[in-house]
Amino acid sequence: MSVNTDFEFVSYTDESMLPDIQRLVSADLSEPYSVFVYRYFLHQWPQLCICVYNLDSSTKHRKEMIAVIVCKAEDEGGKLKFVACFRKVEILCAYIAV
């Protein structure tokens, strides 16, 4: 099995990623979220925000963010509940609870 190396998966690291995350997530929302909503999720659970970048095939430098998963984790009576918003170019946002 070959692995496509033209993508890079990274966790949220800083505010420089926020505009791309907002662009991807808000593309299909009827009302945009406030920047403070994004910051709440990203600062509380940065390790649960996964960003996917398209890489230049020759230089391997990041070209653009093409997908994102923004997630939170909560303890509900001893059970861990994850809520995620997934957004990829040309795919609708989906909320997943486990």
Read off the pTM: 0.71
Residues contacting 23, CB < 8 A, separation 6+ = 65
Could you tell me whether strands 79-88 and 7-11 are parallel, antiparallel, or unpaired per DSSP bridges?
unpaired
Domains annotated for the chain, with CATH where assigned, are 7-97 (3.40.630.30)
Cβ–Cβ < 8 Å for 38, 45: no
Cβ–Cβ < 8 Å for 80, 74: yes
- The one-digit pLDDT tens for each residue of the chain (98 residues) are 455 568 888 999 999 999 998 888 887 677 777 888 889 889 988 988 989 888 888 888 888 898 888 887 777 777 766 666 655 544 334 444 33
